[in-house]
Amino acid sequence: MKLRPALLVLAVALLGATASAATLPSAEWQIKTAVLAAPKAERDAATVLGYDASGNLVTLRKGSNKLICLADDPKQNGFNVSCYYQDLEPFMARGRELQALGKKAPEITKIREEEVKAGKLKMPDRSVLNVTTGKVDEATGEVTELYTRYVVYIPYATPETTGIPLAPLSPGGPWIMDPGTHRAHIMINPPKPGAADAKKK
């Protein structure tokens, strides 16, 4: 039996929706893994943003402290979660909004820079973002090989105002990225476990 074009389109859409729902992690898993980027003492009370059945970013859990954690995006390859303090949310939310409008990274940076300078977008004087990556065991849902890097936002900071170089002086040492801009930040990338041994081989 041949399907009419309209019915065929509907069938394909339903199949796609079913597949998306099947691959979307549960809210419980998203919450459990999102807070891996948070300090242990703050995980239970953190707000968690994650994805609903339609793939929209929503609040999965309203927290009681000042930490916001972002769950892994199922549409992206690899496991990547992050946590940051609430004062950074306007900056982060604006970036997500512009990305949803189809803006690319350079344009997003330019727009946010202009809005910060104009006083339309609030940027805290100091704020920390933790970004955690890992490997998900598809059978158990457990995340292993966790690695966290740290981003300390200090708007318009430079090596001259902080004494921090533009490149790490040693593995894991701090360095400044985007100096002199609204999104200037100190990067701290701890050496990955086994990295030193791998270099010796």
Q: What is the pLDDT of residues 155-169, one digit of tens each?
A: 999 999 999 999 999
- Delimit the domains of the chain by residue range: 25-125
Mean pLDDT over each residue of the chain, to the nearest integer: 88
- Contact assessment for residue 125 and residue 14, using Cβ atoms and an 8 Å cutoff: no
Under DSSP, the state recorded for 184 is -
Instruction: Please enumerate in sequence order all residues whose Cβ is within 8 A of that of 76, keeping only pairs 6 or more positions apart, or say none.
Output: none
pLDDT of amino acid 128 = 96
123 and 105 in contact (C-beta within 8 Å)? no
Confidence of residue 81 (pLDDT cuts 50, 70, 90): very high
Range list of H helices, 81-152:
89-100, 105-117
Measuring CA to CA, how many Å separate 51 from each of 35, 38, 150, 178?
A: 15, 19, 24, 30
* Assigned token pair, 170: 């040693």
Whether pTM > 0.75 for this model: the answer is yes
Residues in the chain: 201
Q: Report the distance separating Cα 113 and Cα 118, nearest Å.
A: 9
Q: Which residue has the tokens 């303090």?
A: 85
SS3 label, residue 179 = coil
Angstrom distance (rounded) from CA 77 to CA 88: 25
Calculate the CA 130 to chain-centre distance.
8
Among 78, 190, 61, 122, CA closest to 70: 61
Local confidence band at 201 (pLDDT 50, 70, 90 cut-offs): low
pLDDT of residue 8: 40
Q: Which residue has the tokens 């900056």?
A: 91
> Tell me, what's the pLDDT at 154?
97
